[in-house]
C-alpha cells in the first residue's frame, strides 16, 4: 500500500510521480489563461505526456483533482501565515515584515495563490464552496489567535471575528494586487509599500475602534 507510483516509461525514461505531474499540469494550464472549468481532461494528460485513459488511474474525474488543488493551495497559504506569526517580530516593523513575507511567498508559490484567487468565484460550485469554507476557517483561527493578545480583553468575540475578517480581507487584496502587478510587469517595492500602508491602516482603525464606537453610540442617542 502507498507504494510510490512510477511512470510506466512506455515513451520516456523518467521516473516521475504522475499524480503530482497531473496536479501541476492543471496549475500550469491555468497560468496560461484558462479557468479550471475550461480545462479538458485531455489537455491535462497531453501536458503530462500520457493517454487520456491513464488519467483515471489517479483521479475519478477533474473535480476531484480540483478539490485536491484547493487543499494543497491552502496548505501553502497556512504555511505563509505561520511564517508571518513565528517570525521574530521586533515590535516596530511587524507590519512591513509581514508584507515582505507575503510578497516572497506569493512570488514563490504564485500558481497556488492564482488558483485560489481564480476559483474563489469561479464556475465550479464544489471548488468555490470548499474555498469559501477554508477562508471562513482561516478567519476563525486568526480571531482565536488575536484573542490571546493582551489588548484584546475589551473586544467582544464578534468584534474579533470582524477584525480577523478584515485582516484576511486586506491580505487577499494584497495577494490579488500582486497577481495583477506581475501581469502588468510592475515593480515589487512599490507594491510592498502599498500593502504595508493598507495593512497599517487596518491596524490603526482597529486601535481606534472601541473609543469611536462609544462616540457613535452617544451621537445617535
In the complex with DNA, which residue's Cβ is closer, 51 or 208? 51
In the complex with its own copies, which residue's Cβ is closer, 104 or 177? 177
| 43 sits near its own copies (criterion: CB under 8 A) | no
Minimum Å gap between C-beta 99 and its own copies is: 13
Q: DSSP letters along the chain, please?
A: --PPP----SS------HHHHHHHHHHHHHHTT--GGG--HHHHHHHHTS-GGGGGGT-SSHHHHHHHHHHHHHHHHHHHHHHHHHS---GGGHHHHHHHHHHHHHHHTHHHHHHHHHHTTSS-HHHHHHHHHHHHHHHHHHHHHHHTSGGGGGS-HHHHHHHHHHHHHHHHHHHHHHHHHHHHT--HHHHHHHHHHHHHHHHHHHHHHHHHHHHHHHHH-
In the complex with DNA, which residue's Cβ is closer, 52 or 205? 52
- Of positions 64, 144, 157, 212, contacts its own copies by CB under 8 A: 212
| 37 sits near its own copies (criterion: CB under 8 A) | yes
Minimum Å gap between C-beta 115 and DNA is: 18
From the list 17-25, 51-59, 60-68, 167-175, the region that binds its own copies by CB under 8 A is 167-175
Which residues, 6+ apart, have CB-to-CB distance to 7 below 8 Å?
A: 14, 15, 16, 18, 50
From its own copies, DNA, none, interface partner of 176 (C-beta below 5 to 8 A by class): its own copies
In the complex with DNA, which residue's Cβ is closer, 3 or 221? 3
Interface residue list for DNA (CB under 7 A): 3, 5-11, 18, 40-43, 46, 49-58, 61-62
Cβ(156)–Cβ(181) below 8 Å: no
- Of positions 34, 78, 97, 182, contacts its own copies by CB under 8 A: 34
| 38 sits near its own copies (criterion: CB under 8 A) | yes
In the complex with its own copies, which residue's Cβ is closer, 78 or 120? 120
Minimum Å gap between C-beta 62 and DNA is: 6
Amino acid at each position: 500500500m502507498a507504494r510510490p507510483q512510477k511512470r510506466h516509461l512506455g515513451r520516456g525514461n523518467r521516473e516521475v510521480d504522475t499524480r503530482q505531474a497531473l496536479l501541476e499540469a492543471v496549475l500550469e494550464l491555468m497560468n496560461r489563461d484558462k479557468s479550471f472549468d475550461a480545462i479538458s481532461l485531455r489537455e491535462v494528460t497531453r501536458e503530462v505526456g500520457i493517454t487520456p485513459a491513464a488519467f483515471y488511474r489517479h483521479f475519478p474525474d477533474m473535480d476531484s483533482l480540483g478539490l485536491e488543488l484547493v487543499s494543497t493551495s491552502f496548505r501553502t497559504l497556512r504555511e505563509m501565515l505561520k511564517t508571518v506569526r513565528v517570525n521574530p517580530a521586533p515590535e516596530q516593523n511587524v507590519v512591513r515584515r509581514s508584507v515582505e513575507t507575503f510578497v516572497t511567498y506569493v512570488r514563490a508559490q504564485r500558481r497556488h495563490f492564482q488558483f485560489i484567487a481564480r476559483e474563489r468565484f469561479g464556475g465550479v460550485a464544489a471548488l468555490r464552496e470548499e474555498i469559501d469554507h477554508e477562508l471562513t476557517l482561516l478567519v476563525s483561527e486568526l480571531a482565536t489567535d488575536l484573542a490571546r493578545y493582551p489588548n484584546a480583553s475589551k473586544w467582544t468575540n464578534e468584534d474579533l471575528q470582524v477584525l480577523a475578517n478584515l485582516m484576511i480581507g486586506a491580505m487577499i487584496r494584497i495577494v490579488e494586487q500582486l497577481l495583477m502587478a506581475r501581469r502588468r510587469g510592475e515593480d515589487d517595492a512599490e507594491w510592498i509599500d502599498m500593502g504595508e500602508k493598507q495593512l497599517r491602516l487596518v491596524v490603526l482603525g482597529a486601535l481606534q475602534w472601541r473609543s469611536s464606537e462609544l462616540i457613535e453610540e452617544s451621537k445617535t442617542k
